[in-house]
Structure 1
Amino acid sequence: MLQHTFCHISGLGAKTEKKLWEAGIHNWGQISCSTAVRLSPTSRADLAQTLEESLTALENNPKYFTKKLASTESWRIFNQFRDQSAYIDIETTGLSDDAEITTIAVYDGKKIMHYIQGHNLDDFVRDIRRYKVLISYSGTGFDLPVIERYFKIKLDHAHIDLRYVLASLGIRGGLKGCEKQIGIDRGDLDGINGCFAITLWRAYQLQGDQAALQTLVAYNIEDSVNLERLMVEAYNRKLLATPFAAEMSLPSPKLPVLPFQADRDCIRRLGGGQ
């Protein structure tokens, strides 16, 4: 989809992009020599340089595009850079500025990685450098700035925040609400939320409750794994507004085998899922 995209060119918006598609101009090579659609002086002046930079960035620089695209249009980079992407979610001790990260889950479409405070949390900083794109839900306002503050690092990745992409499709209501709208069932974790995740961590910290830790990590991992399903669904729905849906739509991803399962007795004992 990325090579069919023109709205990252200065002064060229969605309406003009649609006119280009309708005129049969479907890729960067075709627009450079076409006069079928009148472009603004700003767009015409920026065209050659942007296309040259775009071809270079197409190899390994997804951030070039996300810096130029609106947050609702960041989905366009997904298929091009899917194999360099990581779905990320964190759990914390709260929402205050001094809140600590308790667990992090990262999924790259093949491998699940989890990080736990007091065990291997610092390994995250090394591992996340393997990827060029981070995919989150509300990561712009929470996950990414918390990670940067906590580890004192800068995440120099391209970022797709599904909150904005899904909202532009009319899918809202938090991560769990969005999941329900596209038919994702969390099973034993249904009804568990971020507040209960804090309860689980406290039970582990204060009482050494291993079942609580297992349930917390299972919950965290579920968040990250489900992001892939949301991403693919958003990508396919966005394609419906383009001429390319029939040829470029993606199949639903296969669910990985999850390394942890929620403990029902623990959830009931701690008052979760109600």
Structure 2
Amino acid sequence: MLKHTFCHIPGFGAGTERSLWQAGLHGWDDIFNQPNLPLSSKKEATLHSHIRESIAQLQAGNGDYFYGLLPSDQQWRLFPAFRDQVAYFDIETTGLGDPSDYITTIVLYDGRQVRSYVSGQNLGDFARDIADYRLLVSYNGKTFDAPFVRRCLGAPLDQPHIDLRYVLGSLGYRGGLKGCEQQLGIPRQGLEDIDGSFAILLWHDYQRGNAKALDTLLAYNALDVINLEILMVLAYNAKLAKTPLGLEHHLPLPTSPSLPFAADQDTIQRLRSQHGWSSY
């Protein structure tokens, strides 16, 4: 999609970009093959200059360049170009951000491997591992996850970051991560009754000695992260459908890996009973 993008060029808004598309100029290559562009000479010079720079920056793998120039509601366009360097991530915590709250678990998924991090075990490794990726994808991560990680682990998380809360919201899907999954038909694999508040109960149960509670928490955390890839592809295709570029640029849905952790239904049912937890 980046090679078909013009709205990152100074002075070229969405209207100008759409006019170029409608004139048959669907990508960067078309610009150099068209002798008479529907632009003033000054805008044409700006276009040529920035397209050459864009080609160089994309070849260099510099997502920061495009992230800084794209309007915030168009940053989803980064995804295909950096998909092989993306980290989907999600954290679980003991609360919503009080000074005493801390991260309990983190799961990171790059489309190939699921990695987990647990407080008191290997949580500090996340800061090192996440730095290897050039694009971050989360749900509500800009508001919740990233600030927590910066405060608790000192990781800058300064890579380009696509927050699906806003991308999906712009498409009419709201109600939190679980709500978006439900609206889009993405199954929760027996973890339908668990949310962030229940995740806190699982953590405390683990601290009391129930190892299966940690496995259940990690299963929940991992499922959230694995589903982010599906949501990202669905959102990307839905956004792309609003452009005149055609179905040939749509991405196929990914094949999700098996969950590397097994949720313990006995633990879930016991905690639900103890705390008066109702099904959704």
Calculate the TM-score normalised by the size of structure 2. 0.91
Residue of structure 1 in register with 2:225 after alignment: 224
* Contact 2:127-2:154 within 8 A present in 1 as well: no
Shift, 1:93, TM fit: 0.8
Q: Could you list the per-position Cα deviations for residues 139-195 of structure 1 after superposition, in whole angstroms to 9, with x for gaps in the alignment?
A: 111111111111123122111111111111111111111111110110311021111
Instruction: Specify the code of the residue in structure 1 equivalent to 2:197.
Output: C
Partner Cα separation in structure 2 for residue 224 and residue 254 of structure 1: 14
Unpaired runs of at least 5, structure 2: none
Is 2:97 the partner of 1:96? yes
CA distance in 2, matches of 1:184, 1:6: 33
Is 1:74–1:165's contact at 8 Å kept on the other side of the alignment?
Answer: no
Q: 1: CA distance between counterparts of 2:278 and 2:188? A: 11
> Is 1:265 the equivalent of 2:266?
yes
* SS of aligned partner of 2:252: coil
Name the residue aligned to 1:114. 116
Report the AA paired with residue 263 of structure 1. D
Q: Residue by residue, what CA displacement relative to the aligned partner does 1:36-89 show, whole Å, maximum 9, x if unpaired? A: 433696x55743443233112213111211222233211111111100001010
Mean CA deviation greater in 31-40 or 248-257: 31-40
Q: Which residue of 1 aligns with 2:176?
A: 174
Instruction: For 1:231-250, list aligned pairs within 5 A.
Output: 231-250=232-251
Q: 1:194 aligns with which of 191, 196, 199?
A: 196
Task: Report the residue type matching 1:106 in the other structure.
Answer: L
Contact 1:92 1:102 in 2 (8 A): yes
Q: Percent identity?
A: 53
Q: Aligned partners of 2:76 and 2:278: how far apart in 1?
A: 32
Is the Cα–Cα contact under 8 Å of residues 71 and 161 in structure 1 kept in the other structure? no
- In 1, are the aligned partners of 2:31 and 2:48 still within 8 Å (CA)? no
Deviations 1:6-62 (A, max 9, x none): 111122222221111010111124336665433696x55743443233112213111
Does the 8 A contact of 1:135 with 1:160 survive in 2?
Answer: yes
- C-alpha change, 1:229 and 1:39, in structure 2 (3 Å) is farther
CA separation in 2, counterparts of 1:250 and 1:127?
27
Q: CA deviation at 1:246?
A: 1.9
Q: Contact 1:71–1:160 (CA<8 Å) still a contact in 2?
A: no
Corresponding residue for residue 56 of structure 1 = 56
Equivalent-residue separation in structure 1 for 2:138 and 2:35 (angstroms): 38
Mark the runs of 5 or more structure 1 residues left unpaired by the alignment. none
**Which is further off, 52-61 or 145-154?**
52-61
User: Which residue is equivalent to 1:145?
Assistant: 147
Per-residue deviation, 1:230: 0.2
* Residue identity matched to 1:147: V
AA of the residue aligned to 2:172: G
Q: C-alpha distance in 1, partners of 2:54/2:270? A: 55
| 8 Å contact kept, 1:105–1:113 | yes
1: CA distance, partners of 2:214 / 2:234: 31
Residue 13 (structure 1) aligns with: 13
Q: What is the CA–CA distance in structure 2 between the aligned matches of 1:261 and 1:200, rounded to whole Å?
A: 14
SS of 1:187's equivalent?
Answer: coil
Q: CA contact under 8 A between 1:12 and 1:39: conserved in structure 2?
A: no
Q: 1:53 to 1:215 in 2, by over 3 A?
A: same
Q: Which residue of 1 aligns with 2:186?
A: 184
Of 72-81 and 44-53, deviating more is 44-53
Give, in whole Å, the separation in 2 of the partners of 1:144 and 1:39.
43
